[in-house]
Amino acid sequence: SQQGEEDPQALSIQEGENATMNCSYKTSINNLQWYRQNSGRGLVHLILIRSNEREKHSGRLRVTLDTSKKSSSLLITASRAADTASYFCATEPSGGYQKVTFGTGTKLQVIP
């Protein structure tokens, strides 16, 4: 079964706008990561947030984590056409290294 569920499933925005994607999960986690997948390619690691962190930044990416609600969000600011891709959250359950599970993804389209 999938640990993470992304919302929305698909998102279409204009270049320059911000894109927000959400991830909900079911059990306690050690860490949560976000990955990007361009069409027909492998996944690329974007950012990691530990369970004791609430917010993290990397360039135009901002990730938040709310362990009480078992949810995370990924914000991409000032989006570019090159950001068009699918975005996945991945979680490591507590006590479960090697059992990382991925969500079903959000498909983002950035229109030039």
Binding mask 64-93 for another protein (x = CB under 8 A): ------------------------x-x-x-
Residue 22 binds to another protein (criterion: CB under 8 A) = no
Structure token digits, residue 50 = 């530990």
Q: Between 41 and 57, whose beta carbon lies closer to another protein? A: 41
Strands 10-14, 106-111: pairing kind: parallel
Residue 100 binds to another protein (criterion: CB under 8 A) = yes
Closest separation in Å from C-beta 15 to another protein: 27
Residue 41 binds to another protein (criterion: CB under 8 A) = yes
Strand ranges of the sheet holding 71-76, from the earlier edge strand across to the other edge: 4-7, 19-25, 71-76, 61-66, 55-58
Rounded-to-integer distance, Cα 69 and Cα 35, Å: 21
Phi, psi of 81 (to 5 degrees): -55, -30
Cβ–Cβ < 8 Å for 72, 32:
yes
Closest separation in Å from C-beta 17 to another protein: 26
List contacts with another protein (CB under 8 A): 1-2, 4, 30-31, 33, 35, 40-45, 48, 50, 88, 90, 92, 97-105
